[in-house]
Structure 1
Amino acid sequence: MGVLAGAALILALVSVILAAVASQGSAVKMIASGPQYRDASLLAASVANKRLIWSRRLAVAIIPLYLGALGVMSYSPLESQKAPSVQLTDKSGSKYCGTQLKRAGRELLLYRENENVIRIKLDDLGSVTSVSSCDKLQK
């Protein structure tokens, strides 16, 4: 998130500087004669136009960077958030807790941290519940 926002900030600063430099013009030391004045004016206008075009392009490039930073900030999980755990209860009342649940044919596979996979037949299943952690219940 910080990289995208930082890049957008740098582009915004460069865009503002280019627009400011283009709007102030440039000082040229010369003896004002007709053709020389015209050539200097055309050159200064051309340079100012190029700077304004780049300023606009950079201003448009800021938008996806800020949207990307906003998306990363909004949708990324916080460090303190743990994935919810799954609690299975069979028909006999035994409860099993794990971190991931998959279906394999007529069985459910309950994956547990640092332990084996528990297989429970669908016919023996009582309920499936999402719990915040398996700390209190480990079977």
Structure 2
Amino acid sequence: MTIRKRIAADDPQLAALWERSVRATHDFLPEDDIHRLFPLVRDTYLPALDVQIFENPDHSPAGFIATDDDTVQMLFIDPAFRGQGIGRRLLDHVRRPLLKVDVNEHNPQAHGFYRHYGFEDIGRSALDGEGRPFPVIHMRLKAL
């Protein structure tokens, strides 16, 4: 398995992976939000970010990470491959000093994953980035 940079032709598969992962981990997110976000992920967010793909031997994506400068904007693993160290390997691939991430408070598995990796809580917002009532925990990778 390898990690490689996203190309535009990957976007439909990555958006489908995003949807599978969100359905498996974001049970607080209403169905209409998933439908509204899907084309934004595929057509806007993925092309705008630095996306690295963890690829299976058959070249299908098992997960991906998307960053913007010093911030992890997205990290999604196909539910069929969760718990196999893919998220850790993707974070290792993009690791830099003081890397930041925002995590939905209603997603305790993700919060625990980032804490276990070495991130620490540095703040909280009652609303998400779109001003919706989904609290967000702001985290930063601890300095070595």
TM bucket normalised to smaller: under 0.3
Structure with greater helix share of residues: 1
| Structure exhibiting the larger radius of gyration computed from Cα positions | 1
Structure with greater strand share of residues: 2
> TM-score, structure 1 length as denominator?
0.18
> TM-score, structure 2 length as denominator?
0.18
- Structure with bigger RCO (C-alpha 8 Å, 6+ apart): 1
